[in-house]
A and B are shown apart, each in its own frame.
Chain A
Amino acid sequence: MASQEILREEPSRGSFINDPKVRGIFFQAVVVIVLVALVWWIVQNTIDNLTRLRIASGFGFLRGRAGFDISDSAIAYSSDSTYGRAIVVGFINTLIVAGAGIITATIIGFILGIGRLSHNWLIRKICMVYVEVFRNIPPLLVIFFWYSGVLSVLPPPRESINLPFGSFLNQRGFYFLRPIWGEGSWLILVALLLGIAMAWFVARKARQRQMATGQQFPVFWTSAALITGLPLLAYALSGFPLSFDYPKQSTFNLTGGFQVKPEFLSLYLALSFYTAAFIAEIVRAGIMGVSKGQTEAAGALGLRPGSILRLVVIPQAMRIVIPPLTSQYLNLTKNSSLAIAIGYPDLTATTGTVLNQTGQAIECVLIMMVVYLALSLLTSAIMNVVNARMALVER
């Protein structure tokens, strides 16, 4: 008891100034005060300068009428909408192109990464050349490559390339049929959801059965049949309520149908193909990081090579792959702001236009920074959850 008391008092023996604890708190307080003062000074200076230069400030401008049109919008938007809505349109476009890009880049990246470790010399070399080429070109060039490719290789609207199912390809983009849902088509949706639910249930049961008895069940084919068959059945039962809006030729362009613009197409393809090269390297590293003994042991148990990859190697590789994969996803999202070079109306482009039309530079740059930061944090958070679920479960 007594000795403990002495021990606890020991640090404060001697001068008060020499107490490391006090000193620690003191220096931390100094840093905080300096930081706060700096921020305050910057904010104050900004406000002073804005008033001196007679530039309006505040976020009230977001409610003003935008007055400009945006080529691609997932939500209702016209020149009568507000500046705020224009920014939201840009934000959704960023989400769409980044989301689609992430999915495609992941798929291509995994195929390439596995291909680089293939036993087949040709596949291995093709994948290697791909990775080396795309990894070493700036993303902006890849985007321009696709964009000028689309514009210069494809024909003008009057000479569109006819594709199956009434779709067309020309300089103005890719046009395909747009379904028009007639009366009773809700049944199809219900059937689709039911199909998915049943497929999930079958998969679960099959897994349980395999755990218990070792017997396998053709889950993939059953699910595919359920997910396509049920909606088709509903379609027939509800009296074929679906019709299509076909793209057709008019004075200037094709009208009707669904149009994917070349700006989106080239940005999406460029981001996917560019990022896939990095993902491929991450996947390769992940697979090589799984010790060879694992593969050999699985082989000794009699698993086929495909199953070894799917059941033994990839799940372990994922633990190595996910953290760097997250930063590739963040990169892809941030690279999507290169959209501005080819006129795809993403967050940067529309906010930039708002900035210019209103002159609210500080506010608009702030909005962009906060939104990209939030997107990045959200992506990281999601990937952290995935990572936690992938982590080694000790049994």
Chain B
Amino acid sequence: MKHIAIGILGAAALGLVASAASAATLDDVKAKGFIQCGVSTGLAGFSAPDDKGDWQGIDADFCRAVAAAVFGDGTKVKFTPLSAKERFTALQSGEIDILSRNTTWTINRDTALGLNFVGVTYYDGQGFMINAKKLPGVNSALQLSGAAVCVQSGTTTELNLADYFKSNKMEYNPVVFEKLEEVNAAYDAGRCDVYTTDQSGLYGIRLTLGAPADHVVLPEIISKEPLGPAVRQGDDQWYHIVKWTYFALLQAEELGITKANVEEMKASDNPEIKRVLGQEADTKIGTDLGVSNDWVVNIVKAVGNYGEMFERNVGSGSPLKIARGINALWTKGGLQYAPPIR
């Protein structure tokens, strides 16, 4: 029901929004004093409220980083939890300023849906999870023919699933829900044999199940799921701010700038560090972007660098314990790479 409401609201908003000024998101954001950030309804490690109701996770922290760049204060963010189906309409209609919700970058979303993806904050792939207690003999996704598979609607997941079973000439029974908690409940109750989504998501969801130790993630990865934040098309300035916030997080890690040492680093002799932290004389890097020149200092003070953000939320400092893998910096054999800040 809710997504119809959002659909209708979205449609109405698209129809009624005064067509002129709304292009300048930065001005809107500054005027209201905070960034409205679209997140998931609760996916551990990416965006989920903790027991105090504060949003935690790599996606939530990314929005804090943007707020730090814009306001010098990482707390100036409000979060809107969105199901997979609601998320694009929410962004298109202007209800949120950034969509930072484990969303896969695809050409269709980047073009026909009117979005612009800024980068890949987490390289992921789709996997399968089963209850090893109930299905002891199964250790490969290729043994899943005939299974009932739980999946969330409105995702790339349901499309990859159809492709995978079709290309391997296997049958399956889709059991499709709109809300994450409904999928979780149905899987936990035994309505389906298999849970499929982004592999990182499977690890997060496993923690919320009744008996996490009973469930195993199968080895196959059936798709590329580059997850990243997106903004509306047609506002280059806002797009650049969000995109360079992401690059700044990577650059800080590459240069060894951390939450703990950022103040010291400001006095560094290294010209690159000085430039990135806005300590160069007469620098215009920040102001050209539309923010203050110490924007990177603010970002790192608020959330740390990319590596810190990763370890805290999904890596060794979190219950998920996901290894950096392909999400390591390019200097460490991973895919995370930022163009120069100069």
Q: Is B211 an interface residue (CB 8 A)?
A: no
Minimum C-beta distance from A386 to chain B (A): 30
Tell me whether A49 and B162 are in contact (CB under 8 A). no
Tell me whether B4 and A337 are in contact (CB under 8 A). yes
Tell me whether B191 and A49 are in contact (CB under 8 A). no
Tell me whether A343 and B186 are in contact (CB under 8 A). yes
Q: Is B256 an interface residue (CB 8 A)?
A: no
Tell me whether B17 and A49 are in contact (CB under 8 A). yes
Tell me whether A70 and B174 are in contact (CB under 8 A). yes
Tell me whether B233 and A252 are in contact (CB under 8 A). no
Tell me whether A340 and B1 are in contact (CB under 8 A). yes
A361 and B174 contact, Cβ closer than 8 Å, known pairs A252-B146, A343-B186: no
Tell me whether B114 and A352 are in contact (CB under 8 A). no
List residues of B (150-201) whose CB comes within 8 Å of A's CBs.
153-154, 158-159, 161-163, 166, 172-179, 182, 185-186, 189-191, 193
Interface size class of A (residues with CB under 8 A): 35 or more
Question: B residues within 8 A CB of A67?
Answer: 159, 162-163
Distance in angstroms between the alpha carbons of A116 and B188 in the assembled complex: 41
Question: A residues within 8 A CB of B109?
Answer: 359
Minimum C-beta distance from A82 to chain B (A): 14
Question: B residues within 8 A CB of A42?
Answer: 15-16
Interface of B is mostly: mixed
Tell me whether A53 and B233 are in contact (CB under 8 A). yes
Question: A residues within 8 A CB of B135?
Answer: 252
A71 and B176 contact, Cβ closer than 8 Å, known pairs A253-B146, A356-B84, A368-B4: yes
Interface of A is mostly: helix
A353 and B19 contact, Cβ closer than 8 Å, known pairs A55-B114, A172-B148, A348-B4: no
Interface size class of B (residues with CB under 8 A): 35 or more
Tell me whether B191 and A171 are in contact (CB under 8 A). yes
A352 and B166 contact, Cβ closer than 8 Å, known pairs A68-B159, A171-B190, A252-B148: no
Distance in angstroms between the alpha carbons of A341 and B3 in the assembled complex: 11
Tell me whether B15 and A353 are in contact (CB under 8 A). no
Tell me whether A361 and B92 are in contact (CB under 8 A). yes
Q: Is B30 an interface residue (CB 8 A)?
A: no
Tell me whether B85 and A355 are in contact (CB under 8 A). yes
Q: Is A345 an interface residue (CB 8 A)?
A: yes
Tell me whether A359 and B113 are in contact (CB under 8 A). yes
Distance in angstroms between the alpha carbons of A348 and B162 in the assembled complex: 21
List residues of B (76-125) whose CB comes within 8 Å of A's CBs.
84-85, 88-89, 92, 108-109, 111-114
Minimum C-beta distance from B84 to chain A (A): 7
Kindly supply a per-residue 1/0 record for chain A positions 220-258, scoring 1 wherever the CB is within 8 Å of any chain B CB and 0 otherwise: 000000000000000000000000000000111101000
Tell me whether A349 and B153 are in contact (CB under 8 A). yes
Q: Is B234 an interface residue (CB 8 A)?
A: yes
Q: Is B204 an interface residue (CB 8 A)?
A: no
Given A45-B16, A55-B114, 4 extra CB contacts under 8 A? A67-B159, A71-B174, A172-B191, A353-B85
Interface residues of A (CB under 8 A from B): 42-43, 45-46, 48-50, 52-56, 67-71, 78-79, 148, 151-152, 156, 171-172, 250-253, 255, 262-263, 337-338, 340-343, 345, 348-349, 352-353, 355-359, 361-362, 364-366, 368
Can you spell out 29 A-B residue pairs with CB atoms less than 8 angstroms apart?
A: A45-B15, A45-B17, A48-B19, A53-B114, A67-B159, A68-B162, A78-B166, A79-B159, A151-B189, A151-B190, A156-B134, A156-B190, A171-B190, A251-B143, A251-B145, A252-B144, A253-B148, A253-B173, A253-B193, A343-B176, A353-B176, A355-B85, A355-B89, A359-B109, A361-B11, A361-B89, A361-B92, A362-B15, A365-B11
